[in-house]
Structure formats: structure tokens, C-alpha cells
Structure 1
Amino acid sequence: MTADLSFDYIIVGAGSAGCVLANRLSADPKMRVCLVEAGGSDKNLRVRVPAGILSLYGDKTYDYGYMGVPQPELNNRAIPVNRGKGLGGSSTINSMIYIRGHAGDYDDWAALGCAGWGYDDVLPVFKDLERNVLGQDPAYHGTEGELLVDNQRDPNPVSRLFVEAAATQGITPNDDFNGAEQFGAGIYNVTQKKGSRYNSFRAFVEPIRSRPNLTILTKAESRRLVLDGNRVSGLVIAREGREETLTCRGEVVLSAGAIGSPALMLASGIGPGAALKAAGRTVHHDLPGVGQNLRDHIDGMITTRSGSRMTLGLSVPNLPAILASPLRYFGMRRGMLTTNYVEAGGFARTRYADDRPDIQFHFVPGYRSHRGRVVEYGHGYAIHTCVLRPRSVGELRPQGNGTGFEIDHRFFTDEADARVLVEGIRIARSIFAAPQLDAIRGKEMLPGDKVQSDDEILAYLRAEALTVFHPVGTCKMGTDPMAVVDPRDLKVQGIANLRVADASIMPTLIGGNTNAPSMMIGERAARAMRAAGKDTRNAA
């Protein structure tokens, strides 16, 4: 038990942004910092070994395993919302892909009223965080930061065939999606160290966790904020079977992600007044944007069964290689256990695109089950295609008079998303039809040869589309009436001593994976907080 439960800063969530904040804020030895995490340790081989990712999704130890409400435009299916639980947050269960998004995405933020968030503003922050060991262009990459960015140790040869096949369709090879040009196909750079997962906790907190002014509370569920009028003075947590109150002399920062951060505010009576009242909750502060503006990358898959053992797969002929894989991994950091499964991919334009790619590919050099199983017998390959800037906007809303909530993506409520994804599936099929894949060609299991017209592809997507787990926007920054935080400092509108720093503050969804952008947001928040603290001390 912690004797003194009073702190200068309390950070809710030890994920991508929260770990950056814990590092930066605890660098001042005068400040007592508490990092609160509902999950436990990340020290598990299934977390550290890249191929272990398949065993993490749906495991309640590491995954909250939320489920959205039935989606009318997706045949009333409830869509899973996998979010990381434990030190490292979602960076503990993600695919370790290092992507920042398109430069234009950040310029869009600035144009929406978020001054200081344009690409020229955020690029130096990305560089400061990065320890790039690939010798990539220093105009876009840093080498002195904590987050190690490397090549995959031993990508499957089929992943390179995918890159060659994409080139036949005009999607040119690209070995740096974070450089001057995002468009193209290539093997993804990853956040790994010597073939091992390098999540936000390993990068930013593990090296400094012995700081005497840093307290890390694990298996501590955040229940509600303590409010004195419109001022936050603490946090109620539950651990070891009882509730405790953490007292905050300074500020509480919500870094629990696009689901956890708005959920905690709603549980504390901060949010849309009418919705809170309808759920039977007391309204402490009517802030209409909390939980609104939910956006995510909707995704469709093509999966092909192949007889080629070049691909990853579970089969009797492949059994010797499977049995030898631990020796190859722990001896040389090589072999199939180094895979993150979505080894290759890229960015392309449909005919609906503007000046930037509007779809992203995640290529799997192994068979993805046509029945939704985690593991399926046999060999093959698959490709996921997602809509990068969906126009459909959902919400997270309170449910009942406790801490419950509902996640409603409202996928395909804007028909433009369906049109983009249908064409994305067509482009992905054209890549798979290229001669470079002739040697491993097999039977398309999903959508299947009989699915050819736009209407047929759309019907398939309504029946099978999921997400690539990039929810954002539910505590968006901005200057309009639905903004939750101020873009200057990420302070919550109308509430003192409370900030939000995670993917929930994104006003729109960036074109790419959201792990690295969340770290950038954490860094920006930490800089604003340290500057504010310095100004306060100087004034005193």
C-alpha cells in the first residue's frame, strides 16, 4: 500500500501517451507523479515476442475487449473494440507499426482551429521522441529519442512479393512511409528492439521507474474524478477490493484513450447534460462534446488459401519449422516468431481521393481464417484494406446511473465510406492478381469468386467488415461548441486542473496507425504542463 496518496500530477492510463507524460513530468524531482493503470505488468513472453500478438486479443488480462452496439448498416452486427490493458496500454497489444499519418492530416487540424498543430509544428516533436536506427532521412527522423524504430528482423518472403505485386498496379515501393511521401507499398518499420516489442512503457517508463518521485499503481481501476465545484482535486480508484482517493495538488491528466478518457468524464458527471440526465446521473458540468466525434478505420479483408509453405501457417508439413521457431527466435531473433503478422502494406488512392492516399493496406503472409478463428489450419495470405478518413461519426454515451457506456461507431452512415472501401477491395484484388503471386496462388475464401459487382462487395462488407482498432476523437480539441479541450494546452473546457492527452483529442482521424501520434500528443501535453509549472514558480 502507498502511505502518501497525495500527488502533484496524476496520470490516468499507462498507455502510449501516459507513459510519455510520466517520463517528462517526473523529470522534475520536486513533483510527485502518480501513473495509474487498471491493468498489470507487460512482462510476459506473449507480449514481448511479436508473434504472441494473436494470443493477446480477447485475453481479459491484456485487452478490455469492449463490444460496440449493433450497427444497422453492418447487418446489425456488434463490432469488437480491442483496447490494451496493462503497462503500455494499446502499445502492448498492437502490431508495432510505426506510422505518423499524412502531413496534410495535421494541417487539417490547424485549419479546424487547432493552431500550433500543423505538420511543421508536430514534426519536430515526432523527431524528438524517435530513436531511428535505420539511417532514414534526418529531415524527417530523429535518433536521440526513447522510442526505438527499426526494421522487422525476418519478414516472410511473401511480404516482399506483395510489395512487388503492388508495383504492377502503380503503387510504387516505399521504404519510409513517414518521410517525404506516404503513397506506396513496403515492409512496415516497427517499434521493436532486437526483434522484441518495444512498447511505450519499455521506451519511456521502464528506464526511469526507480525515480523516487514516481509512483506506479497497477491493477487500479479509475472510478471517478473528485470535483470541488468545477475544480478537480483528486481521483477515486478501486484496487485490492476497495476504493481509495488519490489527492491531487496540481493536475489530473486523462490518458486512458478514446474509450477510457470520455468514459471517466461521463462517470464523473462531465459531459452532455441531457444524456447524463437520461442515464440517471448527476450533471456536474454540461460539456456536450464528451464522447462525441468517435471515428475509427473501418476495414475489409480478402483472405486466400494457398498450398505454398512459403506462407505462415499451421500444417503437418510445417511442423518441423514450428517446433524449431523458439530456438531460432531466442537464439538469433529470427524466424516466424518475429512476425507481427501485418508485415507489409502501404497507402493508395481510390478514385475518390484528393491529394493524399485514402486507403491503407495491412498484408498478412499467412492464412487469415474465413470463419473468424484466431488460428486456422493451413496456409495462405490475406490483406486488410481500411478507409483512412471516414466521414461516418459515432459516439460513446453513458448507460445507466453507474459507470457504464455504449460505443456506437455508426459505420457506413455516410455512404462515401462504403464507396471508398468497395473500391479499396477492388484495388487489393488487383494486387493479388499480379503475376508476382502466381507461385503461391490459391483460392480466395473471402469475399470469394462469386462476389464481383459493387453491390456484392458492399453486401460482403456489411456482413464481415471490422476495424483496425484506431478509435479517436471523443474528447476533441478545437474552438467550436463541441470541443472538449483547448488546443493550446489540452485543458478541459470549464474544468480546472484537468487535461486530456491521448488519441481522444484528435479532431479528425489521421491517415495511418495511431500509436506514434498518441505519443506525440503526450509529449505536447507534458511540455505545456512543465511550461505552466515553470511560469507559476517564477511568478511566486
Structure 2
Amino acid sequence: MQTFDFIVVGSGSAGSVVAERLSASGRFSVLVLEAGGTDRRFFVQMPLGYGKTFFDPAVNWNYAAEADPGLAGNKDHWPRGKILGGSSSINAMVWIRGAAEDFDAWRDAGNPGWGFDDLLPAFKAIEDNEAGGNALRGTGGPIHVTDNRKKVHPLTQRFLAAGQKAGLALNQDFNGSSQEGVGVYQITTRDGRRMSAARAFLRPAMKRANVCVETGALVTKILFEGKRAVGIEYLQHGTKLSVRARREVILSGGSVNSPQLLQLSGVGPAALLGELGIPVVHAAEQVGRNLQDHQGINYTWKAKVPTLNQTLRPWWGKLLVGMQYLALRTGPLSMSMNQGGGFFRSDPARARPNMQLYFQVFSTVLPRAGERPILTPDPFPGFSIGLSNCRPSSRGEIMIRSADPTVHPRITVNAYSTETDVAEMLDAVKFLRKLASQSPMSDIIAEEVLPGPSITSDPDLIQDFRKRSGTVYHPVSTCRMGPDPTTSVVDPRLRVHGLSRLRVIDASIFPDNITGNTNAASIMTGWKGAEMVLEDAW
């Protein structure tokens, strides 16, 4: 049986960082186990190509949540990266750290070292921001962050102007001193290619002699001796293999796979494990609980002027932008679908923003089977303004339904299950119409397509956002961090309560969700977690 100092399960946003940081000194050997395959795929590297990976089982776990009463009984599609780089290889690339108050709340909940001032050095060390360095931005780091302010579609400027007329300030940097306002999103690309965690961290680490990366390796169980994690069991090419860890086993599978693997290994709610015939190694009721996610919805309008629909839908348009991308690495294919956006308060009485905006210079009302229709938008000129809630109070859970590791776990979201979440979303969708009614945005609107002008009453608006809302792919907190093992899974140093030599380092440890996209904070968690591992190395 092979032995490594550290075994990292998962090569995603956090796992790639953990592997790079633990191996940098050359002192330790690191094995990375990834269930998926290579990230060297055209539609992975091309930024807008994630429309092609949205349902692709070659790179995507393609999870399905349970039918949700809060979403009018819909079963939501949950794409998660099954590939080197994890979900950073298939996401929308928007770089948002989260609000300083989010991390200060983590610290104040009993997690020393996790306040914003504690984490800012990690965020800055990670970044190579095209906008330049300052007290809050970093340069020279592994993750290149592209400043798109001079590259966005002209209609984005109409969105920004309308947002200001609706009462929001123009924000030049959502990762600056304040998140509130409208602006252009920074994204994780470099030279027109996706800057995933694999490209930034794992690929450089793979050049080191002390790093081994195994793809197609489905981890099935953590191996324990008593309460001590000593290794991993995994399937690769139909063969069951085992490997030992001299120092620690580190789970970086994300908010779905990390609690799933703990439960499969006998760490989780005792009653559930007993029902499935899994011997209990350590009863931990919180494993898989406290699931939090951002729910989003789009409002769509038909435009009087051309949008990206007229560029991306016809074959000749695809040919032109494809040639532009291949020759110059520029144009629509080099960007995210969300060019502009922002943060606002659904109720002005709130202390800080609780809603996020997304502006898309195309529309996808008419879906295409098997593909997120980013690259095949509607036949008419259209655009969408979307939003998502930032800190919902609804809570769900992720629990295994079988002792078979190949069976997807049960994902119960419980979206809009609190009156607070429903009320704030109702206020928020009304604000979308207020924004769209402002000139110069209103000047180019022919008609509202979704939900349509007939949907005006509060009950109808609520019914509409229940029917049409869905995840914006930010699940967190299923292995929650905290000092109390009765309410959390890992301690503030990310060690699993009640066990030794086992940590979880990924977005599942977030005590609560953050204000905005979660990828930057996931990468930061990998950096911070690796620092803690190295500090504790004996």
C-alpha cells in the first residue's frame, strides 16, 4: 500500500490550492484523488463554453435536488465540477470575495482567525488583479482577475445608467471598500482563457516530484484506526485501491461530496447510518445539515435593438465570434454571461445589501434540450436582469440514500421555506421592474417576456418566483465550522470534531453563506486551511 504525507480528496477550488501549498516546500508528499478527468478540454478553457458543460456527464456530477415545495415542486438541476479544478472549471467565473461583515460574523461566532482582517492577506496573496494592487487588491498571485470595464457590451452601460437612476451608486470594484451599487464584474480569466483553480494552482504543483494526482479515482471510504483517519479507499478503472496518510486526510470534495464521504465512512447522523447498515465510527449529527444556497431568478425583456442573441444564435454569427476567439482570444466567447451586476438592499431599512444583480446581454427563454442555451439564445433580440438572495434564512440538508458510493445523495434544499426569504424576494423582483423602467434601459425595451406584464399582484409574483427560481450554484455549510460539536462539524482549524488527522477544507465549512459568488471564498479557504495544516505539522 502506498503512503503519502497528505491525501487530498478532490481537486476543486479549495483542493487544488491545498495541494499546491502543502507541496511547495518539498518537505511533504501529497496525493490528490479526483473522481473526474482532465481539464484540458476546449469548452472548459473557453470562458463562455460553460454552457456546453452544464449537463455534460464527462465533467459534471449532474446532481438533482429533491422535489421542493418552495420551488413549486420542481427538482432543481445542480451542476458540480467532476474534473480537475472542480466547479472552478465549469462556473461563471465572477470574482466576488464576499462582504467584510460576512467574515467578521464567522469570527464572532467563535472562529478566531476567520475575520476579514485576518483573511485579507490570503485574498491579496491569491490575486493577480488586472485593475492593479492597492490596500484591498492583490497583484502577482496565482489567480488572474480580469478587469472587464472596457470590454463589456454597450448595452451594459445602459444597465449601469438605469441602476443609478433607480438609486444605486456606480461601484468600480465590488471587492473594494463596499459592495453596494452597480458595476462591471471582474472574472477569473487570463488571455481569454478560464483561470480555474487547476490552472492557477494544481497544474504548477503537478510539476513537482512530491505531488501525485490520480484522476478517475472515486473515493469510497475514509479508513480509520479507532478515531484516527489513516487512509483512503477508492475505485479506479473498476479496481478497489487503498492508500495511507502519514499525517492527515483532507476532504476538499465540496458541499456535496465532503458530507457524503463522511457519511459513507461512518461519520454522520447515527440513525441514518444505522438504517443503511453503515458501522458508526463517530456519531456527528451535523454532517450534511445546515445546507445554505443562493436562489436566483431572471426577468427577461424583448429589445428594440440587437443584443448578443443576434450574434450567438445564427451559424454565421457563431462562426465570426469563434474565429475572433481562436485568433485573438477576445469577444463574447472570452467573457462570462454576467457582464454587469451589483448588490442592493431589498428594503432600504436594511443595514447592508442582501440581493445580488446579474445583467445578461442575451436571453434564453426558449431552452434547448441537453444544453444550457448560452450559445444558442432566443431568435429575437432580448436581455435579462437576474437576481439572487445573498443570505437566505432557509436551511436544507444533504444525506446519503445508500451505502453505495456511486449513488447520488439526497439533496433537500427547502428553498423559500421561511417568510423572511419570501418577503425579501418579493421586494427584490419588484425592484427589477423599477430598474428596467429607468431610461436609458427603458428606451430599448419592446416588451417584458418573463414573467410578463400580466403578473402584477403579490401572490402572482410569489408564485412566479417559486416556479422559475433555482440555485445559482453556491451551496455551502454542510460541514459547518464552529467551536461547538453539537452545532458544527469542524473546529476553527478545520479539524473534524471528535476525530484526529482528518480535516475538511472547502466551502462546506462556511459557518454561513456569504454575500455574493462563493468561488473566491472557497479558494481563500483552501489557502487558509493549508496554512493551518502547515502550522500544525509535527
TM-score (norm 1): 0.95
Please give the residue correspondences for 1:335-374 in structure 2 after superposition, counting only pairs within 5 Å. 335-351=331-347, 354-371=350-367, 374=373
The alpha-carbon deviation at position 112 of structure 1 amounts to 1.3
Q: What do the CA deviations read for 1:122-173 (whole angstroms, capped 9, x no partner)?
A: 111101111112125x110111211111123732111222111111111111
Give 1:443 deviation, angstroms: 2.4
User: Is the 1:299–1:421 contact (alpha carbons within 8 Å) kept by the matching residues of 2?
Assistant: no
Which stretches of structure 1, 4 residues or more, deviate above 6 A after TM superposition?
Answer: none
Distance 1:372 1:100, change over 3 A: farther
Structure 1: distance between partners of 2:147 and 2:45 = 16
Alignment check: 8 A CA contact 2:166 2:434 kept: yes
Q: 2:267 aligns with which of 265, 270, 273?
A: 270
**Residue in 2 that maps onto 1:129:** 126
Q: Shift of residue 336 of structure 1?
A: 2.1
Give, as a single letter, the amino acid of the residue that structure 2 aligns with 1:377: D
| 3-state SS, counterpart of residue 122 of structure 1 | helix
* Structure 1 residue matching 2:168: 3-state secondary structure: coil
Give, as a single letter, the amino acid of the residue that structure 2 aligns with 1:312. N
| 1:388 has 2:390 as partner | yes
The residue aligned with 1:115 is: 112
Partner of 2:490: 485
Deviates more, 1:274-283 or 1:501-510: 274-283
Instruction: Tell me the SS of whatever aligns to 2:483.
Output: coil
Give the Cα separation in 2 of the matches to 1:515 and 1:42: 17
Unaligned runs of 5+ in 2: none
The CA distance in 1 between the partners of 2:270 and 2:368, in whole Å, is: 40
- TM-score, normalised with respect to structure 2: 0.95
Aligned equivalent of 1:377: 378
Alignment-derived partner of residue 398 in structure 1? 400
In structure 2, distance between residues paired with 1:377 and 1:370:
6
1:470 Cα deviation after fit: 0.1
CA distance in 2, matches of 1:211, 1:407: 38
Shift of 1:438: 3.8
Measure, in 1, the Cα distance between the counterparts of 2:348 and 2:252: 35
Could you tell me which of 317, 329, 332 is aligned with 1:333? 329
SS at match of 2:290: coil
Is the 1:126–1:520 Cα contact (8 Å) retained in structure 2? Answer: yes
Query: C-alpha distance in 2, partners of 1:188/1:342?
Result: 7
Counterpart of 1:428 (choices 426, 432, 438) is 432
Deviation (angstroms), 1:330:
2.2
Please tell me the residue identity of whatever aligns with 1:35.
V
Aligned to 2:529: 525
Equivalent AA in structure 2 for residue 399 of structure 1: R
Alpha-carbon contact 2:312-2:318 (below 8 Å) kept: no
**Preserved contact between residue 100 and residue 116 of structure 2 (Cα < 8 Å):** yes
d(CA) in 2 for partners of 1:110 and 1:154? 38
- Cα offset for 1:465? 0.8
Unpaired runs of 5+ residues, structure 1, are none
CA shift for structure 1 position 352: 6.9
Structure 2 CA distance for partners of 1:465 and 1:92, relative to 1, 3 Å: same
How far did 1:400 drift?
Answer: 2.7
Deviation, 1:371, is 4.9
Aligned-partner Cα distance in 2 for 1:315–1:407: 34
Of 438, 447, 453, which aligns to 2:451? 447
- Relative distance call for 1:372 and 1:320 in structure 2 (3 A) is closer
1:476 counterpart residue number: 480
Distance 2:415 2:15 in 1: 29
Could you tell me how far 1:12 is from its partner in structure 2?
0.6
Which residue in 2 is equivalent to 1:42? 39
Question: What is the alpha-carbon distance in structure 1 between the residues aligned to residue 312 and residue 138 of structure 2?
Answer: 43
Partner of 2:417: 413
Distance 2:331 2:321 in 1: 6
Question: 2 CA distance for matches of 1:411 and 1:503?
Answer: 19
Asked whether the 8 Å contact 1:306–1:380 carries over to 2, the reply is: yes
What is the aligned partner in structure 2 of residue 511 from structure 1?
515
Distance of aligned partners of 1:50 and 1:353 in 2 relative to their CA distance in 1, 3 Å threshold: farther
Question: Which residue does 1:13 correspond to in 2?
Answer: 10
Q: Output the CA distance in 2 between the equivalents of 1:350 and 1:135.
A: 32
Q: Percent identity?
A: 35
- Give, in whole Å, the separation in 1 of the partners of 2:422 and 2:124: 35
How many residues matched? Answer: 528
C-alpha spacing 1:319/1:165, structure 2 compared with 1 (3 Å): farther
Residue 323 of structure 1, aligned match among 308, 316, 319: 319
User: Which amino acid in structure 1 is aligned with residue 487 of structure 2?
Assistant: M
Structure 1, residues 214-262: CA drift from partner, whole Å, max 9, x if none? Answer: 0011111111111111111111111111110011111010000000100
Are the counterparts in 2 of residues 366 and 381 from structure 1 also a CA contact under 8 Å? yes
Shift of 1:6: 1.3
Q: Which amino acid aligns with 2:160?
A: V
Deviations 1:450-486 (A, max 9, x none): 1112211100011111010000000001023121101
Name the structure 1 match of 2:170. Answer: 173
State the alpha-carbon separation in 1 of the partners of residues 445 and 47 from structure 2: 27
SS, match of residue 324 in structure 2: helix
- Counterpart pick for 1:76 among 65, 68, 73: 73
1:331 maps to a residue whose letter is A
